[in-house]
C-alpha cells in the first residue's frame, strides 16, 4: 500500500516537527517543556514547526482550551508555522481511510466489549477476525496488524528494543469516534511530519506506533523522548493530576526553568539579566540546543506546587 497524501508543508523543509496538545485543559509546566523542546529541535535544524489540536475525543475537550493553549504558546514566543490543524475537522479524511482498509480486507468489524477482552486476559485475541461481522451500529473497526512490534533508535535515548506482537488496533470505536492511534498516524503523514519530540511517558507506545504507521503505509518518523516533569516518583504533571495552568505573566521565568530542565544550563547562562527579552533567550536557546544535553532519565521531580515551579531559585 502506498501513501499518496501530500503535505502542504512538506516542501518547506527536510525537517517538519509538530506539537500536538489535547484541548482537555490548559498547558501546564510539563507540556510547556515538551512544546519548547519540540520547537527548539525543529528550529535548530532549520525546520518547520507545526501545531495540531488533537481534539478527536470531543467529549473530553474543554470549551476554550484550544484558544488558551495557543495563547500560552504565543506568549512564550513559540510561534508555529502555517495553520493549526484541528482533528475534529478532518473526519471525512479519516473515514475514507477506514472505508479503504475495510474494502481491502485489512480491517474488520469487531463486537467484543471491554468485559469480554478482560476475560481474554486483558488482551484482544483476534476473536472477530474471521467472523465476517456486519456493521449494525454497535461494532468497532479493528485493523489487522500481522508484523512484530518495531524496535527503533530514539534521538535522545538511543536504541529501544521492542518485543512481542501487537494486538489488532481499534481504528474506530463502538461509539463512532475515530481512535487516537489512527488519526495521529494519518495526520503525521498528511502534514509531512518527519520528527516528533514528545514526553517519555509515550515511549512505551512508540514501537506500536512505528508498526501501525508502516501497516498504514505512512512514512516513518524519527522520535525523541524528553523526561516528564513529575511532582513525585511516578506522578507526572498532568491534567488528571490537577497540574496548574502555566502562568502567562511569568514568561521569562517559565522559559528559564524549562531550559534548565532540558539541560541547557550547561552551555548558556540561565538568568534573565543576560537577555533583553524572551525572544533573545529563545534565539540563544535555538543556537545552543543539543539533544545530548537533555537528561537521559524517565522523569525529573519539580516543585510540588507546580506550576509555581518558578518560585524555586535557579
Question: pTM for the complete prediction?
Answer: 0.90
Q: What is the mean pLDDT of residues 199-218?
A: 95
Closest listed residue to residue 176, CA positions, set 140, 136, 214:
140
Q: What is the per-residue pLDDT across 10-21, written as a single tens digit (0 to 9) for each?
A: 444 599 999 999
> Cell 521531580 sits at which residue?
301
Give the pLDDT band of residue 243 (cuts 50, 70, 90): confident
Average pLDDT, the chain: 90
At 27 the pLDDT is 93
Give the pLDDT band of residue 304 (cuts 50, 70, 90): low
List the chain domain ranges.
229-311
Q: What is the per-residue pLDDT across 120-161, written as a single tens digit (0 to 9) for each?
A: 999 999 999 999 999 999 999 999 999 999 999 999 999 999
Q: What is the per-residue pLDDT across 64-119, written as a single tens digit (0 to 9) for each?
A: 999 999 999 999 999 999 999 999 999 999 999 999 999 999 999 999 999 999 99
At 310 the pLDDT is 40
Amino acid at each position: 500500500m502506498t501513501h499518496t497524501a501530500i503535505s502542504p508543508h512538506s516542501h518547506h523543509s527536510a525537517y517538519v516537527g509538530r506539537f500536538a496538545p489535547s484541548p482537555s485543559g490548559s498547558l501546564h509546566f510539563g507540556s510547556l517543556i515538551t512544546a519548547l523542546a519540540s520547537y527548539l529541535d525543529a528550529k535548530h535544524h532549520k525546520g518547520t514547526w507545526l501545531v495540531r489540536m488533537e481534539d478527536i475525543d470531543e467529549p473530553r475537550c474543554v470549551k476554550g482550551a484550544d484558544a488558551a493553549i495557543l495563547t500560552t504558546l504565543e506568549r512564550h514566543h513559540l510561534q508555529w508555522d502555517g495553520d493549526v490543524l484541528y482533528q475534529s475537522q478532518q473526519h471525512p479524511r479519516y473515514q475514507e481511510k477506514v472505508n479503504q482498509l475495510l474494502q481491502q480486507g485489512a480491517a474488520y468489524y469487531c463486537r467484543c466489549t471491554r468485559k469480554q477482552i478482560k476475560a481474554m486476559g486483558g488482551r484482544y485475541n483476534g476473536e472477530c477476525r474471521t467472523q465476517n461481522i456486519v456493521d449494525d451500529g454497535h461494532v468497532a473497526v479493528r485493523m489487522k496488524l500481522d508484523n512484530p512490534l518495531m524496535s527503533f533508535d530514539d534521538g535522545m535515548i538511543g536504541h529501544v528494543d521492542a518485543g512481542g506482537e501487537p494486538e489488532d488496533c481499534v481504528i474506530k470505536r463502538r461509539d463512532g469516534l475515530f481512535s487516537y492511534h489512527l488519526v495521529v498516524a494519518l495526520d503525521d503523514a498528511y502534514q509531512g511530519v518527519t520528527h516528533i519530540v514528545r514526553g517519555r511517558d509515550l515511549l512505551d507506545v512508540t514501537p506500536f506506533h512505528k508498526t501501525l504507521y508502516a501497516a498504514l503505509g505512512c512514512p516513518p518518523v524519527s522520535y525523541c523522548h524528553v523526561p516528564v516533569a513529575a511532582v513525585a516518583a511516578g506522578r507526572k504533571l498532568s491534567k488528571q493530576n490537577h497540574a496548574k495552568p502555566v502562568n502567562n505573566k511569568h514568561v521569562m521565568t517559565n522559559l528559564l526553568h524549562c531550559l534548565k530542565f532540558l539541560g541547557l544550563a550547561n552551555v548558556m547562562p540561565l538568568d534573565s539579566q543576560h537577555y533583553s527579552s524572551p525572544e533573545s533567550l529563545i534565539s540563544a536557546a535555538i543556537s545552543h540546543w543539543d539533544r545530548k544535553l537533555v537528561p537521559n532519565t524517565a522523569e525529573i521531580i519539580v516543585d510540588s506546587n507546580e506550576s509555581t515551579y518558578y518560585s524555586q531559585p535557579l
